[in-house]
C-alpha cells in the first residue's frame, strides 16, 4: 500500500479546504449549535462538490470513490470541526448498504444520498444484540424498541436501524417523520457532534437486507476507520494552531516556543499525529483492499490508539495556557472532538485487550513448537 495521497486526492482535499475556508470567512466560526441547518450553505456546498456521493457507485449518481478518497474529505472536515452529518450520511449509510447488498429499496436511498437530497444515519449501538424488534404483519413491518447514541438522528431524514427479525438480525430503513418515532438529544462531552436516543413504537419500516455478524463487523470497522480519519484531521489542525501560538506568544521577551519544555510538548504532539496518520491511512486502504482479518486488526489499532490521540488536544490547551480554557477560544472544542473519538463505540482499553488476545493467538503456535 502507498501511505501518500495521489495528485487527485490532494486536489480533492484542497477543494474541500478552500470551500470550508470560504464558508468560515462569510460566517465566522462560532461554538457549535445544538442542531445543524442541513439546508444551509455547508451541506449544499458539499453536495455541489459531489462529495456527498463520493463513495457511492456511479450507477446511483455517485463518484465511485474509495475509502482513501473519503479519508481525505474526513480529514478536512475534522480540521474545520464540521458539525454536519457527512460521516453518517456519506460514509456509514452507503457502506452498510453496500455490505448487505444493494436492493431496489437501497438503490433509491443511495441516489438520494448521492445528490444530497437525503440525509441518512446508521445506529450501531448494541447492533450485535439489538433491542429493537421487527414485527411482521403480512407485507407490513413495524419496529419497537430504542436505538441509543445514534449520531445525527436529529437532522437525518432516514434512519438505518439494525433490528431483530425473527431468528436473525436485519437492517431496516425508517423515516424520521414516521409515526411512533421519538428522537431525544443525548448528552455528550462533544458539542461538535449531535447524538440522540431514538425510540420506535410500532413504527413502519422497510426491510433492506439481512445483517449477519460478519457483515456487521465489517460495517463497524468501516465506521471506526472513518471516524479515526476525522479525528486525525482535528488533531493535525490543533497542532498547527498550537505551534503558531508558541511562535507568537512571548514571555520574558522570548517566544514560548524557544523554551525547551514547550518544544518537547510540541514534538510529542507531532509524533502522535504522524503515528495516527499512518494508522488511519492503512485502515482506509484496508477497508477496501485487505482481507477481513487485516481490516479488522487495522480498525482495532486506530481505536486502541484513540486515547493517545486525545492527549494532543490536552497538550494544546496546556501550551495555550489560560486562553485555551476560555469559551471564546476554539482549542477546547478540538479537545472535545478528540475525547469523543476516544470513547467512540467503546474506549481504547476494549480494543487494546482484543489486540492483545490476537497477539497471543498468533504467538501460541510458535511457543508450542519451541516447548516441544
**Res. 261 pLDDT band, cuts 50 70 90:** very high
Residue 1 grid coordinates: 500500500
The predicted pLDDT at position 326 comes to 81
pLDDT tens track for 277-315: 999 999 999 999 999 999 999 999 999 999 899 999 999
- Show me where the domains of the chain are located: 7-115, 120-211, 214-365
Average predicted confidence (pLDDT) for the chain: 90
The predicted pLDDT at position 368 comes to 55
- Please state which architecture CATH assigns to domain 214-365: Up-down Bundle (1.20)
The predicted pLDDT at position 38 comes to 45
Radius of gyration of the chain (CA): 21
Domain topology for 120-211: Butyryl-CoA Dehydrogenase, subunit A; domain 2 (2.40.110)
The predicted pLDDT at position 365 comes to 63
* Cβ atoms of 312 and 324 closer than 8 Å: no
Which residue did the predictor score with more confidence, 25 or 346?
346
pLDDT tens track for 320-343: 988 887 877 889 899 999 999 998
For the whole model, what pTM was predicted? 0.91
Rounded to whole angstroms, how far apart are CA atoms 159 and 109? 11
**Res. 26 pLDDT band, cuts 50 70 90:** low
**Res. 35 pLDDT band, cuts 50 70 90:** very low
Cα torsion for 34, 40, 45, 50, to the nearest 10°? 80
CATH fit for domain 7-115, picks 3.30.390.50, 3.40.190.10, 1.10.40.30, 1.10.540.10 = 1.10.540.10
Amino acid at each position: 500500500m502507498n501511505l501518500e495521497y495521489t495528485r487527485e486526492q490532494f486536489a480533492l482535499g484542497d477543494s474541500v479546504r478552500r470551500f470550508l475556508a470560504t464558508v468560515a470567512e462569510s460566517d465566522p466560526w462560532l461554538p457549535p449549535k445544538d442542531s445543524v441547518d442541513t439546508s444551509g450553505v455547508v451541506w449544499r456546498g458539499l453536495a455541489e462538490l459531489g462529495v456527498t456521493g463520493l463513495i457511492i457507485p456511479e450507477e446511483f449518481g455517485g463518484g465511485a470513490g474509495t475509502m482513501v478518497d473519503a479519508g481525505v474529505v474526513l480529514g478536512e472536515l475534522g480540521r474545520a470541526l464540521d458539525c454536519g452529518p457527512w460521516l453518517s450520511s456519506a460514509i456509514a449509510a452507503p457502506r452498510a448498504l453496500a455490505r448487505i447488498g444493494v436492493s431496489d429499496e437501497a438503490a433509491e436511498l443511495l441516489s438520494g444520498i448521492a445528490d444530497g437530497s437525503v440525509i441518512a444515519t446508521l445506529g450501531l449501538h448494541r447492533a450485535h444484540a439489538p433491542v429493537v424488534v421487527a414485527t411482521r404483519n403480512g407485507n407490513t413491518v413495524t419496529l419497537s424498541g430504542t436505538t441509543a447514541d445514534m449520531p445525527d438522528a436529529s437532522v437525518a431524514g432516514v434512519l438505518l436501524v439494525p433490528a431483530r427479525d425473527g431468528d436473525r438480525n436485519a437492517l431496516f430503513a425508517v423515516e424520521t417523520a414516521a409515526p411512533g418515532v421519538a428522537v431525544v438529544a443525548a448528552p455528550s462531552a462533544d458539542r461538535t457532534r449531535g447524538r440522540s436516543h431514538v425510540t420506535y413504537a410500532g413504527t413502519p419500516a422497510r426491510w433492506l437486507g439481512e445483517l449477519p455478524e460478519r457483515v456487521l463487523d465489517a460495517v463497524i470497522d468501516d465506521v471506526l476507520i472513518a471516524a479515526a480519519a476525522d479525528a486525525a484531521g482535528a488533531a493535525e489542525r490543533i497542532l498547527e494552531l498550537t505551534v503558531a501560538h508558541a511562535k507568537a506568544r512571548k514571555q520574558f521577551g522570548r517566544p514560548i516556543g524557544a523554551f525547551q519544555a514547550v518544544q518537547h510538548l510540541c514534538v510529542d504532539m507531532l509524533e502522535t499525529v504522524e503515528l495516527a496518520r499512518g494508522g488511519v491511512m492503512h485502515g482506509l486502504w484496508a477497508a477496501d483492499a485487505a482481507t477481513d482479518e487485516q481490516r479488522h486488526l487495522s480498525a482495532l489499532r486506530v481505536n486502541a490508539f484513540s486515547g493517545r490521540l486525545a492527549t494532543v488536544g490536552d497538550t494544546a490547551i496546556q501550551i495555550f495556557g489560560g486562553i485555551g480554557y476560555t469559551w471564546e477560544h476554539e482549542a477546547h472544542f478540538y479537545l472535545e472532538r478528540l475525547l469523543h473519538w476516544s470513547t467512540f463505540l467503546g474506549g481504547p482499553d476494549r480494543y487494546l485487550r482484543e489486540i492483545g488476545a490476537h497477539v497471543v493467538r498468533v504467538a501460541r503456535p510458535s511457543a508450542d513448537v519451541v516447548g516441544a
